[in-house]
């Protein structure tokens, strides 16, 4: 109705429902809040939606109906399918001979009536009802307006699957036609993604097993199984996802990678998709790329004040190498992005080389590795150095050539950020030496190394005081006197955290700063346990010790810290 607002306003004035003063107030509100004038009148309380409907119905000689007081027979509801009623926002009221009376909210919308006549093959006569009453009736007669995977699976369990529609070439949700968007498989795939997003999932796993198709969401680092589609839908679901991510549906023997970009709940959602052939079909994993991590600063990573001061000093260094270590999924990339955000200034040139480039960073030059054309980390780095950058970020140091170029760059006045896969911070030194980098070069170039893990945070909605067990006290070396002076917490489990007791994650960190004594030990090629002992003497906190601080602060639980830091023997 916004397009005909002026016409509707004229009718409301003619029948005396609004005054000139009401109209002026509504125009001002509409202008400031980007509303239609009629919606502004309703928001101000000058008229109700029912008043507007009655005035329009009277103007066009149409009847009105109060749906709240009317019970529509089931056989009449069955005449209009659920998806048609929701799409056109109509409620069938009664049927006489070949004429179906339907309730609509906008008498000016003649296109809806014409479309219903064509779709239903019936003569359609409209009556007018308030928009909010129609919305409530849609829920009353057709169920919740929000589709869920569970409802969708119930709808299609006994239906036939149209593989031709599932393989339609559209790759973006907004390009799917109305006919295709009604196809059960297309709706199911979109709902799987939407439900994962609603549940704060980082990954969606679709795994073909011998007798079923398993779907799991990774939420706060833990996999949770959800309602599984029937096994017979496996080919259609996999085909649809491959089409959406620009993969070849004809190729089922080799792994493939792709990306999906779709709008979900008012946001543009990016998914990195991996397809892997298995014994029982192709397994799909979709990583949901959370663009909010682009906005994180060092203060958002979960550092305590002393560790944050160390980090601010490290990222302000004019040169040298700063390494972040940890297993896949421990948040290393997010930490590096936060470091770059902290030093991304107009007077500094920053270039990154990544595999893949997951997020576009404003003001930063990013290079995508492409082995197919021999654009490796090492090849990209050699070219990057000719671009005269101040700061370089390398997605991962994987081989000797990349490591040597990174070291040379740091020794010639560049600040280099990168990652390594090691269990703790001191082990990164021996890892570089094992790669073949000369010890004196490692000692001269590395400024600091940080190991990190992610632990789940206690849900704030259901947390309650908790007394640690004797085992937890022993494993975390908790001081009974300190525990007695503070309150530890644990999540009871509530709908807000899906009954897990946890919501969100934060980091625990082990920061190893390289000083003159450490450089001497590195030059002498001492084993990593000696380096670790020296780092402990210098005051380095281990991952478990930092986790204990977060337990004492009521951020996470003893159980979580013990499970994440099993390898920490200190």
> What band does 180 get if pLDDT is binned at 50, 70 and 90?
very low
How would you class 183 by CB atoms within 10 Å of its CB: exposed for 0-12, middle for 13-18, buried for 19 or more? Answer: buried
Q: What angle do CA 310, 314, 319 make, to 5 degrees?
A: 165
Average pLDDT over residues 171-178: 41
Task: Considering only residues 309 and 111, tell me which one the structure prediction assigns the higher pLDDT.
Answer: 309
Q: H or E stretch including 135?
A: helix 131-142
Q: Is the pLDDT of residue 451 over 90?
A: yes
pLDDT (0 to 100) of residue 275: 96
Task: Identify which has the larger pLDDT, 182 or 72.
Answer: 72
What percent of the chain lies above the pLDDT cut of 90?
Answer: 37
pLDDT of residue 115: 83
Q: 181 pLDDT exceeds 50? A: no
What is the SS3 assignment for 171?
coil
User: pLDDT tens, 310-334?
Assistant: 999 999 999 999 999 999 888 898 8
- pLDDT above 50 (res 511): yes
Residue-wise pLDDT for 536-552, tens only, equals 999 899 999 999 999 99
Confidence tier at 2 by pLDDT (50, 70, 90) = very low
Would you state the structure tokens that stand for residue 401, as one six-digit string? 């050539």
Q: Residues 565, 531: contact at Cβ < 8 Å?
A: no
Residue 352: predicted pLDDT: 93
Band the pLDDT of 167: cuts 50, 70, 90: low
Supply the DSSP symbol for 356: S
Phi, psi of 501 (to 5 degrees): 85, -5
Smallest CA-to-CA distance from 453 within 508, 503, 505, 504 is with: 508
The strand pair at 281-289 and 391-394 is best described as unpaired
User: What is residue 435's predicted lDDT score, i.e. its pLDDT?
Assistant: 92
**pLDDT the model gives residue 367:** 92
Whether residue 150 is predicted with pLDDT greater than 70 in this model: the reply is: no
The pLDDT tens digits for 335-362 are 998 898 888 888 899 999 988 787 777 7
Q: pLDDT-derived band of residue 569, with 50, 70 and 90 as boundaries?
A: low
Q: Is the model's pLDDT at 69 over the cut of 60?
A: yes
> pLDDT for 550-562, tens place per residue?
999 999 999 999 9
Average pLDDT, the chain: 84
Say if strands 222-225 and 213-219 run parallel, antiparallel, or are unpaired.
antiparallel
Whether the CB-CB separation of 268 and 242 falls below 8 Å is answered with no
The whole-number pLDDT of residue 276 equals 96
- From 20-24, 33-37, 152-156, the region with the lowest mean pLDDT: 152-156
Distances (CA, A) of 97 to 62, 94, 405, 471: 20, 10, 83, 77
What pLDDT does 267 receive? 67
- ∠ CA 147-113-122, nearest 5°, is 95
pLDDT in tens, 415-438: 999 999 888 999 999 999 999 999
C-alpha dihedral, 441 to 445 to 448 to 452, nearest 10°: -70
Instruction: Write down the pLDDT at residue 280.
Output: 92
175: burial class by Cβ within 10 Å (0-12, 13-18, 19+)? exposed
Half-sphere exposure of 442 (CA within 13 A, CB side): 27
Place of tokens 């919308």: 109
What tokens were used for 187? 């709706």
């Amino acid at each position: 109705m916004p397009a005909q607002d002026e016409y509707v306003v004229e009718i409301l004035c003619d029948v005396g429902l609004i005054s000139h003063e009401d109209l002026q107030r509504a125009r001002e509100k509409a202008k400031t809040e980007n509303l239609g004038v009629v919606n502004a009148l309703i928001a101000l309380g000058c008229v109700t939606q029912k008043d507007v409907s009655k005035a329009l119905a009277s103007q066009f000689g149409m009847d009105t109906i109060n749906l709240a007081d009317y019970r529509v027979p089931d056989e009449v509801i069955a005449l209009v399918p659920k998806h048609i009623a929701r799409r056109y926002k109509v409620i069938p009221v009664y049927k006489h001979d070949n004429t179906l009376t339907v309730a609509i909210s906008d008498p000016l919308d003649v296109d809806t009536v014409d479309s219903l006549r064509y779709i239903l093959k019936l003569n359609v006569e409209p009556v007018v009802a308030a928009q909010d009453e129609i919305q409530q009736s849609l829920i009353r007669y057709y169920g919740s307006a929000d589709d869920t995977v569970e409802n969708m699976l119930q709808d299609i369990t006994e239906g036939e699957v149209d593989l031709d529609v599932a393989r339609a070439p559209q790759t973006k949700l907004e390009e799917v036609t109305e006919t295709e968007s009604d196809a059960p498989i297309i709706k199911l795939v979109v709902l799987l993604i939407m439900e994962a997003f609603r549940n704060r999932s980082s990954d969606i796993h679709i795994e073909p097993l011998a007798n079923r198709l398993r779907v799991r969401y990774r939420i706060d680092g833990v996999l949770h199984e959800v309602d599984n589609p029937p096994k017979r839908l496996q080919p259609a679901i996999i085909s649809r996802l491959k089409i959406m991510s620009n993969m070849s549906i004809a190729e089922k023997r080799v792994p493939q990678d792709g990306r999906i970009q779709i709008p979900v709940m008012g946001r543009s959602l990016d998914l990195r998709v991996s397809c892997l052939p298995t014994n029982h079909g192709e397994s799909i994993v979709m990583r949901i790329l959370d663009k909010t991590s682009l906005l994180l600063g060092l203060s958002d990573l979960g550092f305590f004040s002393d560790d944050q001061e160390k980090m601010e000093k490290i990222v302000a260094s004019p040169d040298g190498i700063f390494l972040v270590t940890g297993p896949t999924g421990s948040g290393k990339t997010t930490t590096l992005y936060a470091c770059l955000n902290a030093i991304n200034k107009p007077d500094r040139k920053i270039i990154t080389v990544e595999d893949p480039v997951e997020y576009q960073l404003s003001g930063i030059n990013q290079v995508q590795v492409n082995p197919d054309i021999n654009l490796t980390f090492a090849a990209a780095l050699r070219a990057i150095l000719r671009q005269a950058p101040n700061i370089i970020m390398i997605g991962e140091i994987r081989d000797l050539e990349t490591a040597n170029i990174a070291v040379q760059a740091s020794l010639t006045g560049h600040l280099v950020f990168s990652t390594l896969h090691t269990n703790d911070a001191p082990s990164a030194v021996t890892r570089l030496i094992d790669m073949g980098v000369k010890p004196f070069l490692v000692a001269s170039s590395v400024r600091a190394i940080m190991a990190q893990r992610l632990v789940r945070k206690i849900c704030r909605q259901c947390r309650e005081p908790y007394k640690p067990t004797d085992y937890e006290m022993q494993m975390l070396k908790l001081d009974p006197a300190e525990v007695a002076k503070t309150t530890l917490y644990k999540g009871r489990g509530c709908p807000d955290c899906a009954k897990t007791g946890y919501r969100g994650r934060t980091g625990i960190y082990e920061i190893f700063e390289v000083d003159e004594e450490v450089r001497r030990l590195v030059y002498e090629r001492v084993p990593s346990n000696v380096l670790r002992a020296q780092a402990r003497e210098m005051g380095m906190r281990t991952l478990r010790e930092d986790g204990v601080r977060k337990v004492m602060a009521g951020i996470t639980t003893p159980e979580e810290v013990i499970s994440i830091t099993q390898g920490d023997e200190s």
